Structure formats: C-alpha cells, structure tokens
C-alpha cells in the first residue's frame, strides 16, 4: 500500500519556527513549519522573507528544535511528530531536499506521545 499526501492549498498558519544555519555556513535562515510542510526561508536584501525550499512531510509536526553541531558547520532539525518518533533532519543543499538523518522511537503511536513531545530538550 502506498500513501500519498498532496496538499491542494498551501497551509497558511505557521505552527513552529526556528532560525539557524541550514543552507550555507554562517548564514541566518529560518525553518518554518506549516502543519505538514517544512519551508526553508531567508530574509533577502530588501528585508522580504523569501522561501528557498518547501517540502511536505508525512505526519503532523508537534515539536521542532534546533541541534547545532559545530564540526559539521550547519544545523540539524529535530522534529517530534504524531507517529511517536523523534526525527533528526538536515537540509542537503546539493539536491535541495530535507533528508532524514536518524529516527528515534519515542513511544507507541497514540499513547502519550503528544504530552512527551512538549518536554523534549536538545543539549549540545
């Protein structure tokens, strides 16, 4: 069975946002989460928010945090989703996609994961 999620209308409400260096080293970019969609954005020279990349994710994002690793020169995104997993994601500038680095099993879906996602803390 293949699951396919295609949004007809782009979500308008931003549920989560973090800033970091995802595309280029030392750049200040933003990751915006709109329900099931992740967007990489940057403020340009005219101080306008420009979307560099947009990608849908399978599942609803309940929490989003930043993981900064100096030895890699860029930041990682830590997502808590409604399937009960913690996903570590990076943006690959060569293929211009968000890629899954690692998935951590948090709990069984629909059993207490909504409360646990609120208390996830990232320590470098």
- 59: alpha, beta or left, given left = phi > 0 and alpha = psi -120 to 50? left
- Does 96 have pLDDT greater than 80? yes
**Average pLDDT in the 80-99 region?**
87
* HSE, side-chain direction, 13 A CA sphere, residue 86: 19
**What residue ranges define each of the domains in the chain, with the CATH number in brackets?**
16-117 (2.40.128)
pLDDT at 7: 64
Q: Check: CB of residue 60 under 8 Å from CB of residue 81.
A: yes
pLDDT per residue over 10-64, tens digit each?
667 888 999 988 877 777 899 999 878 899 999 888 888 889 999 888 778 888 8
Percent of the chain scoring above 70 in pLDDT: 77
- Does 122 have pLDDT greater than 70? no
pLDDT at 72: 73
């Amino acid at each position: 069975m293949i699951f396919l999620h295609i949004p007809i209308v782009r979500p308008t409400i931003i549920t989560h946002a973090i800033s970091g260096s995802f595309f280029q080293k030392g750049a200040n970019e933003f990751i915006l989460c709109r329900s099931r969609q992740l967007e990489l954005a940057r403020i340009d020279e005219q101080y306008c928010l420009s979307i560099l990349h947009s990608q849908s994710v399978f599942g609803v994002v309940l929490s989003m945090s930043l993981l900064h690793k100096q030895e890699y020169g860029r930041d990682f995104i830590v997502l808590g989703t409604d399937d009960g997993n913690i996903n570590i994601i990076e943006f690959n500038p060569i293929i211009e996609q968000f890629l899954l680095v690692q998935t951590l099993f948090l709990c069984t879906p629909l059993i207490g994961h909504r409360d646990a996602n609120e208390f996830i803390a990232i320590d470098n």
